[in-house]
Amino acid sequence: MKILVVGGGGREHALVWKIAQSPLTSEIYAAPGNAGIQEIARCLPISDTDIAGLLAFAQEKDIDLTVVGPELPLAKGIVDQFEEVGLKVFGPSREAALLETSKAFAKDFMIRHHIPTAEYRVFDSAEGARRYVLQRGAPLVVKADGLAAGKGVLVAKTISEAQDAIHRIVEQKAFGGAGERVVVEEFLKGEEASVLALVDGKVFKTMIPSQDHKRIYDGDRGPNTGGMGAYAPAPVITEALLSEIEERVLRPAVLGMEQEGRPFRGVLYAGLMITAGGPKVVEFNCRFGDPETQAILPLLEDDLLELMLAVCEGNLEGRRMNWRSGAAVCVVLASGGYPSSYNRGAVIQGLHHFPTDDVILFHAGTRRDGLRVLTDGGRVLGVTALGSDVRQAVSRAYQAGEKISFAGAYYRRDIAHRALDREPSPDDPSYGGKDTQRRDGSEDSHPRDCLSGGGPLGCL
């Protein structure tokens, strides 16, 4: 099969890397791709938002499946336009993607379908939002309604900070058109985690839970980024809690989208806060997360391309997903100054050390200049390491990251710190770490086959 992957970040490199392992794959193209993707796929000089250009290429090359990575092409209706001419594409329609492209729509949808989330109000004007803040008090969360590359969420600890956030979003247009409306939410206390599910319109299959790190600095300080690292599985989500999330969040979301005439097909990402009162949805995304994908896919034992085809064909029912034992951790190496202004064009040193048996290097903001690889974005590389547990995977990821250098390189030093707090130290007599990443037997895999219809939960 000929596959086109739309996008050029670390998530897309992970998707290309995994799809390339399928015996069904004959050729892979990526638009626009990056220096790492270029090693395993043909990269095209087509922007991921140039829908007409992507469509023309897919028709010319008779592409069998197009896989959409980023959110912007989904918002622009790439799935609708491809399907109109009979091309198979993995991702939700423009109407289904509203779960991500409009926070106001998503919040109203959750209320309609009794999905737990924070209390909120939506405002078209800064003045109305300011009055609400004075009435409600702080802390609060202020969000741009539209897409803002993961940066349009501002946590305000005081009324003054909330007012400033409203001013930045609505009046200064810090996030462009995304700030035409603003959502002001209750501040939720708890631990964040993400659960992704493949959805074919009716049936969903849950992936292993993960946790990313949005803030730029150690200790979860500083502004939000697109994500500075991730790990899977996230121990904060136990088997019992995952079942609750499937029943209270994923099932009503899938059923609700179908009932409202916008069936969801693709990857549904539930960003959650695990509060004292149970899981609550912080946000929905309509595509694979970045960098969560770089931690999840290396643990997936199944053929991702087969699963994607099953989604497109409405054929997920009865399928199982199997996972390697152990854990995966992704540490993002970013350009100095990110998420604000940063330089491009720095030479990246140390790439010749990879890949190894337990480390995969996923490129994000990179490009080739002859034999050199240069930085070309805020998030430059994702160093993913496997281990028998999170502690071992973290150690391997940081050891590998130290071999790479470029001017202004920055990365957080505390990725997966919440999981490490839950794991015993190697000095603890109860520590059971072992130096293997391979699955020993069926008892170590975690199959799930979740149906969105009525009756029992249906998870094996």
For residues 175 and 70, membership in a common domain is answered with: no
- Please state, in angstroms and rounded to a whole number, the distance separating the CA atoms of residues 13 and 278: 34
CATH number at residue 81: 3.40.50.20
The answer to whether position 246 is within a domain reads yes
The CA-CA-CA angle for residues 345, 348, 353, to 5°, reads: 160
pLDDT at 374 over 50: yes
Q: What are phi and psi of 36, to 5 degrees?
A: -75, -45
CATH number at residue 373: 3.90.600.10
Q: Is the dihedral of CA 216, 148, 345, 57 positive or negative?
A: positive
Give percent above pLDDT 90 in the chain: 83
Which pTM does this prediction carry?
Answer: 0.89
Q: What is the pLDDT of residues 262-307, one digit of tens each?
A: 999 999 999 999 999 999 999 999 999 999 999 999 999 999 999 9
Q: What is the pLDDT of residues 224-269, one digit of tens each?
A: 899 999 999 999 999 999 999 999 999 999 999 999 999 999 999 9
- 8 A C-beta contact, residue 270 and residue 289: no
For residues 14 and 52, membership in a common domain is answered with: yes
For residue 84, give the amino acid letter.
E
- Please state, in angstroms and rounded to a whole number, the distance separating the CA atoms of residues 138 and 220: 19
For residues 49 and 161, membership in a common domain is answered with: no
pLDDT at 98 over 80: yes
The alpha carbon of 331 is separated from its chain's Cα centroid by a whole number of angstroms, namely 14
Stretch 350-374: mean pLDDT: 94
Q: What is the pLDDT of residues 401-430, one digit of tens each?
A: 999 999 999 999 999 999 999 876 665 544
Stretch 12-34: mean pLDDT: 98
- Predicted pLDDT at 445: 33
For residues 318 and 202, membership in a common domain is answered with: yes
The alpha carbon of 433 is separated from its chain's Cα centroid by a whole number of angstroms, namely 28
- 8 A C-beta contact, residue 333 and residue 10: no
> What does each C-alpha distance from 134 to 21, 120, 127, 140, 251 come to in angstroms?
55, 14, 11, 11, 37
Of 274, 293, 324, the domain-final residue: 324
- Predicted pLDDT at 437: 29
Question: What's the number of domains the chain is made of?
Answer: 4
- In 162-253, where do the E strands start and end? 182-186, 191-200, 204-206, 211-212, 215-217, 221-224, 229-232
Which region among 178-187, 333-342, 406-415 has the lowest average model confidence (pLDDT)? 178-187
For residues 72 and 158, membership in a common domain is answered with: no
For residues 305 and 224, membership in a common domain is answered with: yes
- Predicted pLDDT at 177: 85
Which region among 219-223, 280-284, 315-319, 351-355 has the lowest average model confidence (pLDDT)? 351-355
pLDDT at 443 over 50: no
Q: Which is higher by pLDDT, 434 or 24?
A: 24
Q: What are phi and psi of 139, to 5 degrees?
A: -75, 155
pLDDT at 453 over 80: no
DSSP-assigned letter for residue 447: -
- Predicted pLDDT at 432: 39
- Predicted pLDDT at 175: 87
- 8 A C-beta contact, residue 411 and residue 283: no
- Predicted pLDDT at 441: 31
Q: What is the pLDDT of residues 341-353, one digit of tens each?
A: 999 999 999 999 8
For residues 148 and 48, membership in a common domain is answered with: no
For residues 66 and 143, membership in a common domain is answered with: no
The alpha carbon of 57 is separated from its chain's Cα centroid by a whole number of angstroms, namely 27
The answer to whether position 233 is within a domain reads yes
The answer to whether position 101 is within a domain reads no
> What does each C-alpha distance from 374 to 16, 139, 248, 365, 444 come to in angstroms?
20, 41, 45, 9, 40
Q: At which residue do the structure tokens 């790990």 appear?
A: 231
- Predicted pLDDT at 425: 63
pLDDT at 170 over 70: yes
> What does each C-alpha distance from 139 to 115, 120, 196, 287 come to in angstroms?
23, 13, 28, 30
Give percent above pLDDT 70 in the chain: 92
CATH number at residue 146: 3.30.1490.20
The answer to whether position 449 is within a domain reads no
240: which 2 tokens? Answer: 């019992």
- Predicted pLDDT at 430: 40
pLDDT at 6 over 70: yes
The answer to whether position 378 is within a domain reads yes
pLDDT at 436 over 80: no
- Predicted pLDDT at 78: 98
Q: 203-218: string of b/e by CB count within 10 Å (b at 16+)?
A: bbbbbbbbbbbbbbee
Of 141, 166, 186, the domain-final residue: 186
Where in the sequence is the domain holding 231, given as residue range(s)?
191-324
For residues 357 and 381, membership in a common domain is answered with: yes
Q: What is the pLDDT of residues 57-80, one digit of tens each?
A: 999 999 999 999 999 999 999 999
Which region among 9-18, 148-157, 339-348, 369-378 has the lowest average model confidence (pLDDT)? 148-157
- Predicted pLDDT at 459: 28
CATH number at residue 220: 3.30.470.20
For residues 31 and 14, membership in a common domain is answered with: yes
